[in-house]
Amino acid sequence: MITRNEGFANLTAGYLFPEVARRRREYAASHPEAKIISLGIGNTTEPLPKFIAKAMADYSIGLSTPEGYSGYGDEQGNTELRKKIAEVWYKGLADESEVFISDGAKCDIARIQTLFGRNVKIAVQDPAYPVYVDGSVIVGAAGKNNGTGYEGVTYMPCTPENDFFPDLSVVEPDSLIYFCSPNNPTGAVATKEQLKKLVDFANKNGCIIIFDGAYREFIRDPELPKTIFEIEGARTCAIEINSFSKPAGFTGVRLGWSIVPNDLKFADGTSVNRDWNRVMTTLFNGASNVVQAGGLACLEPEGLKAMKEVIDYYLENAALIKKTFEGENFKKAGAEVYFTGNSPYIWVKFPGKKSWGVFDTLLDKCNVVTTPGSGFGPAGESFIRISAFGHHADVQEACSRLSKLAL
Ligand code: PLP
C-alpha cells in the first residue's frame, strides 16, 4: 500500500481556525439562545465596491460573445494586470516580468515551498500566520514537533519587549525567513529601519525572505513601508507575496500576486524568478480571467478610492475595539492592548492567563468569538487576537457586551 506522507503524521494540533469553529459550534449547540458575534477569523464582511463587481460582470457577459471569449490565459497572469500592479502598487520598484498573478496569497505560500524543497531551513516570526509552518511540515522542510516547536524551524519571538521585531541572531545562515508586515496576528508594522536590518541580515547570511504583505493597504502612517522593495538591498534577498483579499474584499473571489525579483539568485547562481515561472506554469494554470478583470478595476482611480473606503470602514471598527479593550474592566484585569492603527488586528495580552481560557471566557460571557494567540505560536500564549472585520452594528454590539464584562 502507499505510505502516508509523513509530513501529515508530523502535523500536531489541528489547524487553528477549524478548532475555533468547532468550539463555536459546540457552544452554539448547547446555548441555542446565544447571539454569537465573530471577531475571530480575518474574513471580510463588506460588499464588493460596485465599480469592481461591475467590471467582473461585464467581462463575464463578454465571454458569451465571439469577440469577448477567451480560454486559457498566460499562467503568469494578464500582461496588463502585471504591468498595472508594478506601476500602481510598486511605483517602478518591481518590473512587470517580476509580477506573477495567482489565486491568492495562501496558495502562493503553499506553492513557494515547492521552490525550496525539503532541505531548506525555516525561520518564522513567533507568533505567525499558521500556513508558513504547517505548509513547511507538509512538504517535509520541517520535521516532528518536539513539544517546543517543529524540528527545522527557528522561531523568532516577536513580543512587546522587542517591539515585535525579532532578534535575528537566532536565525541560521541560508534560511528561508517568513516575515509578515503588517503582521497577522500582532498587527505590528515593521519600520523602514527594522526592515533594513532584516534585509541586511538576509543578504549577509544567504537567506531568502518571504515577505507577506497581505495587509499593506491598512497602513495609514506614511512613514511605514508598504512593500519590502522600498528597502535598499531587498531585490537580492526577498520575494513578496500579496493579495487582493483584504483590500478589495476578494477573500471569496480569489486573486493574489507575488513579486520575484530578477536579481534574486540561488546559491548556484541560477535565477529564482525562472524557477518560479516554471512552478507557476507547471503547477498552476492562471488566475480566473473574470477575476483578473476585477483586479484591473481595483487599480483604476475609482477602484483605489473604493478600496480605501472599505478599509477605512474596518479601521473604524478597529479603533472601537481598541477603546473597548482599554476600558476600565479590562484595565483592572491587567489587559495590555497593542494596536497602532495600521492593521485590522488588535492584539491583547492577559498576563498570567492562557489564550484558550480567555477565548472561552469571552465566548461564554459575551458570546463573542476571538482568536487565541497561542494558536499562532508559543510566543502568542496569553494573547488573544480580535479582528476588525465585521459589520459596524455587530462590532458595536460586541464591544457593548465586552465593555460590561466583569473579569
Ligand atoms: N497572508 C496572511 C498574513 C493572511 O492573514 C491571510 C489570510 O488571512 C493570507 C495571507 C491569505 O490570503 P489569500 O486570501 O490571498 O489566500
pLDDT of residue 407: 80
Residue 107 belongs to a domain: yes
Q: Which residues pair with 311 in a beta bridge?
A: none
Between CA 14 and CA 27 the distance in angstroms is: 19
Residues 124, 178 within the same domain:
yes
Residue 364's φ and ψ, nearest 5 degrees, are -70, -45
Residue 80 belongs to a domain: yes
CA atoms within 13 A on the CB side of 126: 20
Between CA 138 and CA 200 the distance in angstroms is: 30
Residue found under cell 529601519: 193
Say which CATH number the domain at 251 has.
3.40.640.10
What ligand 1 atom has the least distance to the C-alpha of 243? 15
Q: Nearest CA to 125 among 379, 388, 316?
A: 379
Per-residue model confidence as pLDDT tens for the chain (407 residues): 999 999 999 998 666 888 899 999 999 999 999 999 999 888 999 999 999 999 999 999 999 999 999 999 999 999 999 999 999 999 999 999 999 999 999 999 999 999 999 999 999 999 999 999 999 999 999 999 988 899 999 999 999 999 999 999 999 999 999 999 999 999 999 999 999 999 999 999 999 999 999 999 999 999 999 999 999 999 999 999 999 999 999 999 999 999 999 999 999 999 999 999 999 999 999 999 999 999 999 999 999 999 999 999 999 999 999 999 999 999 999 999 999 999 999 999 999 999 999 999 999 999 999 999 999 999 999 999 999 999 999 999 999 999 999 88
Residues 295, 329 within the same domain:
no
Residue 387 belongs to a domain: yes
Residue 316 belongs to a domain: yes
Residue found under cell 516532528: 144
Domain boundary, last residue among 270, 300, 330: 300
Residues 168, 118 within the same domain:
yes
Domain boundary, last residue among 245, 276, 300: 300
Residues 241, 147 within the same domain:
yes
**The model's pTM:** 0.97
Q: Nearest CA to 16 among 372, 348, 379?
A: 372
Residue 1 belongs to a domain: no
Residues 31, 61 within the same domain:
no
> Residue 39 sits in which domain range?
6-48+303-403
CA of 299 from ligand 1 middle (Å) equals 19
Nearest CA to ligand 1 atom 1: 214
pLDDT of residue 364: 96
What ligand 1 atom has the least distance to the C-alpha of 42? 8
Site to substitute for ligand 1 among 16, 102, 106, most atoms within 8 A of C-beta: 106
Find out whether the beta carbon of 251 lies less than 6 Å from any atom of ligand 1.
yes
Find out whether the beta carbon of 104 lies less than 6 Å from any atom of ligand 1.
yes
Find out whether the beta carbon of 43 lies less than 6 Å from any atom of ligand 1.
no
Residues 11, 85 within the same domain:
no
pLDDT of residue 14: 62
Say which CATH number the domain at 358 has.
3.90.1150.10
pLDDT of residue 236: 98
Residues 255, 181 within the same domain:
yes
Cell of 190: 515593521
Residue 270 belongs to a domain: yes
Residues 292, 380 within the same domain:
no
**3-state SS record for the chain:** CCCCCHHHHHCCCCCHHHHHHHHHHHHHHHCCCCCCEECCCCCCCCCCCHHHHHHHHHHHHHCCCCCCCCCCCCCCCCHHHHHHHHHHCCCCCCCHHHEEEECCHHHHHHHHHHHHCCCCEEEEEECCCCHHHHHHHHHCCCCCECCCCECCEEEEECCHHHCCCCCHHHCCCCEEEEEECCCCCCCCCCCHHHHHHHHHHHHHHCCEEEEECCCHHHCCCCCCCCCHHHCCCHHHCEEEEEECHHHHCCCCCCCEEEECCCCCECCCCCEHHHHHHHHHHHHCCCCCHHHHHHHHHHCCHHHHHHHHHHHHHHHHHHHHHHHHHCCHHHHHCCCEEECCCCCCEEEEECCCCCHHHHHHHHHHHHCEECEEHHHHCHHHCCEEEEECCCCHHHHHHHHHHHHCCCC
Q: How many domains does the chain have?
A: 2
Q: Residue 52 in contact with residue 297, Cβ under 8 Å?
A: yes
Give the CA dihedral 73, 77, 83, 84, nearest 10 degrees.
100
Residues 196, 258 within the same domain:
yes
Residue 166 belongs to a domain: yes
Site to substitute for ligand 1 among 184, 210, 250, most atoms within 8 A of C-beta: 184
Residues 136, 285 within the same domain:
yes
Residues 223, 127 within the same domain:
yes
Q: Residue 99 in contact with residue 124, Cβ under 8 Å?
A: no
Q: Which residues pair with 100 in a beta bridge?
A: 258
What ligand 1 atom has the least distance to the C-alpha of 43? 8
Domain boundary, last residue among 254, 271, 300: 300
Residue 238 belongs to a domain: yes
Residues 36, 99 within the same domain:
no
